A and B are shown apart, each in its own frame.
Chain A
Amino acid sequence: MRPLYLLREAMTNLRVHRGNVLIGIVTTAFTLVCFGVFVLLYLNLKNLTGTLQGDIEVVVYLDPGASEQVMSLVQKRLRTEPAAVALTFVSKEQALREFAEQFPEESLLLEGMDGNPLPASVVISLSPRFLDTESLGAFAERVKQLPGVTHVAYSQDWIDTLTLVVSYFELGAVVIGTILAVSTVTIIANTIRLSLYTRKEEIEILRLIGATGAFIAIPYVIEGTILGAVGGGLSLAVLKGIVEFFRLELSASGWFMGVEHMLPVFPKQVSFLLVMTGMLLGCGSSVLSVFGLMKVRN
C-alpha cells in the first residue's frame, strides 16, 4: 500500500471530477446551512428563554412585626432550599426607598401614612431546575408555612406560559431536528453515492487488474471526507455571515440596548459540529457507496 499514491489519487480525482465534486460540496453546504439555521435558532431561543427564566424571582414578604431573630431564621431556612440560588434581603427602609425611586409620583401617598407600611422581604433567585409550575408551587407552599412569612409572590401566569412555550419548543426541536438530521444524511449520502456511481467503470477496471478493496476505497473515502469538510466549512462561513448580519442589524436598530447578551450568538461548538458532520457524512457515504459498488463479484 502506498499512502502518498492514494492521497495523490484522491486529489487528482477531486480535480478531474471537479463538476461532480462541486455539486457535492454545494449540496453538502446547502443542506448543512439548513440544519445549521435550525440548530442556531434552537440554541438562541433556548438562550433567550434561559435568560427570561433567570429573571424570574420569588418574593417572600415577612410579617411587619417579625423580630430580627425570626427574619434571620426565615433566611437561614430559605438557604437550605435547593430551589433558591441566591437570596437578597430587602429591609422595610430599603423597600420604601426603592418604591420612591420606582414610583416617584405615588411616593406622596406614603408620606401621609403613619410610619412605613411596606414589609421587609426576601427576594429569591431560582435554580432553572425548579422553574416549572409544579416545583415552584410546592416551593411557595413550603415557604408560606414558615413562621414570620405572610405572603409569597411570583408571577404564576408568566411562569405557566413560559413553561408551556419551553416544553412545546423542546418537543418541536426534537421532531424538526430529527427530520432535518435524517434529511441531511440522506441528501448528502445520495449526492456522494451518485457521484461515485458515475465512476463504477473505474472501480471495475481496478478490480480487474488485482486491486484490493482497500486500495480502491481509500482514495474515494479521502475524497468524500475532503468534500464533506469543505461543504461543512462553506456552510459555516454562510451561517457566520447570516448571524453577523443579524447581529449588526439588530444592534443598529437599538432594540437590544442594554440587553446585548440577548443578541444572536454563534457558539464555537456549532462550528465544530458543522465541519465534523460534513466530514463524517462525506466519509461514511463514500465508504457505503464504494463498498456497495464492489459488492458484486466481477
Chain B
Amino acid sequence: MIQLFHVSKFYDRCAALDDVSFRIDKGECVILTGPSGAGKTTLLKVIFGAEIPDTGQILVQNRNVARLRGRAIPYLRRTMGIVLQNFQLLPKKTVYENVVLPLVIQGVKRREARKRVVDVLTAVGMDHKQTIRTGVLSAGEQQRICIARAIVNSPILLLADEPTGNLDAALTVEIVELLKRIHAQGTTILLATHNQRVVEQMSGRVIHLQAGHVVIDEGATS
C-alpha cells in the first residue's frame, strides 16, 4: 500500500524527515507518534503529495509520489481520504454540500452521490444535520463531517493528521471509535498524533518519530 525508501525532507537545511523507510500493508492501522516537530505532518504531506521529498522514493499503491507531476496529484488524492486537525471544511456550505464535494469532483451521478452521502453521514451520526452550514457546528461535529467527507468515496487509505487535536477528551473518544469502525471495514489508516490516549485506544502498529528519524516501529510486518 505505502512504501517509503530513505525519504528525507529539509527546510532551511534542517531535517524534517531524515532517511525514513517503512512499509504499510493494505488494511493496516498505523499510528504515527512523536513530539511536535518530529516530522509527523511532513511525513503525511509527502504521502499525499503536498510536499516533494528531497531524497528517497514514496510508493503509494505502486505510484511513485516523489516523481508525480503536479497535475497528477488530484488523481492521487482521490484514492485517499485526508483528515486534518483544523477541519478544512467550507463554512458557508451545508454539511451535505461539504461531504458530497469529493463525489462531485469525481463525476459520480447525483442519485448515487446522495445515497453515499446519506450512508456516511448516518455512519458518523450526522445525518440529521445535512442542511446545516458547517460553520455553525461544534468542533466535534465538524471533525465528524471531515471524516465523513474523507471516506465518502470509499478510499482504501485514510490519512489523519492530529484529528483529535482540537477536541476534548469525550469527543476524542468518539472520533477514535469512529476511526476504529472505519478501519474495521477494511480501510488502511495512517494516523498521526501526539496524544498517548489516542495511541492506546486505537491499538495499532506504532511508528515513533523523533527529529525526523523513525526511532520505534512496533509491529512492523517486514
Q: How far apart are the CA atoms of A207 and B71 in the complex, in Å? A: 11
Q: How far apart are the CA atoms of A126 and B92 in the complex, in Å? A: 68
Closest B residue to A294 using CB positions: B70
Contact of B50 among A1, A5, A215, A297 (CB under 8 A): A297
Q: Does A80 contact B (CB under 8 A)?
A: no
Interface SS of A by simple majority: helix
CB pair B105 A215 closer than 8 Å = yes
Q: Which residues of A contact B52 (CB under 8 A)?
A: 297
CB pair B104 A210 closer than 8 Å = no
CB pair A202 B90 closer than 8 Å = yes
CB pair B82 A208 closer than 8 Å = yes
Q: Which residues of B contact A208 (CB under 8 A)?
A: 77, 82, 84, 88
**Residues of chain A from 201 to 249 with CB closer than 8 A to chain B in the complex:** 201-202, 204-213, 215
CB pair A209 B107 closer than 8 Å = no
Q: Does A113 contact B (CB under 8 A)?
A: no
Q: Which residues of A contact B88 (CB under 8 A)?
A: 201, 204-205, 208
Contact of A212 among B50, B74, B102 (CB under 8 A): B74
Quote the shortest CB–CB distance from A7 to chain B (angstroms).
13
Q: Which residues of B contact A202 (CB under 8 A)?
A: 90
CB pair A213 B71 closer than 8 Å = yes
Q: How far apart are the CA atoms of A210 and B78 in the complex, in Å? A: 5
Q: Which residues of B contact A213 (CB under 8 A)?
A: 71, 74
CB pair B49 A297 closer than 8 Å = yes
Contact of A2 among B49, B74, B104 (CB under 8 A): B104
Quote the shortest CB–CB distance from A146 to chain B (angstroms).
76
Give per-residue flags for B60-88: 1 if the beta carbon is below 8 A from chain A beta carbons, else 0.
Answer: 00000000001101111110001010001
CB pair A209 B82 closer than 8 Å = yes
CB pair B49 A205 closer than 8 Å = no
Q: Does A109 contact B (CB under 8 A)?
A: no
CB pair B50 A298 closer than 8 Å = yes
Closest B residue to A15 using CB positions: B92
A interface residues, how many (CB within 8 angstroms): 19
B interface residues, how many (CB within 8 angstroms): 26
Q: Which residues of A contact B101 (CB under 8 A)?
A: 206, 209, 211
Closest A residue to B80 using CB positions: A210
Q: Does A182 contact B (CB under 8 A)?
A: no
Q: How far apart are the CA atoms of A215 and B101 in the complex, in Å? A: 11
CB pair B104 A5 closer than 8 Å = yes
Q: Which residues of A contact B75 (CB under 8 A)?
A: 210
Contact of A297 among B73, B89, B102 (CB under 8 A): B73
CB pair A205 B90 closer than 8 Å = yes
Q: Does B51 contact A (CB under 8 A)?
A: yes
Q: How far apart are the CA atoms of A241 and B137 in the complex, in Å? A: 49
Q: Does A16 contact B (CB under 8 A)?
A: yes
Quote the shortest CB–CB distance from B75 to chain A (angstroms).
7
Q: Which residues of A contact B73 (CB under 8 A)?
A: 207, 297
Given the interface contacts A16-B92, A297-B49, A297-B50, does A207 sit within 8 Å of B104 by beta carbon? no
Give per-residue flags for B156-184: 1 if the beta carbon is below 8 A from chain A beta carbons, else 0.
Answer: 00000000000000000000000000000
CB pair A210 B71 closer than 8 Å = no
**Residues of chain A from 166 to 211 with CB closer than 8 A to chain B in the complex:** 201-202, 204-211
Given the interface contacts A202-B90, A205-B89, A297-B51, does A210 sit within 8 Å of B74 by beta carbon? yes
Q: How far apart are the CA atoms of A201 and B107 in the complex, in Å? A: 23
CB pair A210 B106 closer than 8 Å = yes
Closest B residue to A207 using CB positions: B74
Contacts from A to B (Cβ < 8 Å) = 1-2, 5, 16, 201-202, 204-213, 215, 297-298
Please name 5 pairs of A and B residues whose Cβ atoms are closer than 8 Å in the assembled complex, sorted by A: A209-B77, A210-B76, A211-B105, A213-B74, A297-B70
Please name the 3 residue pairs, one residue from A and one from B, whose CB atoms are nearest each other, closest first.
A210-B78, A210-B77, A210-B74
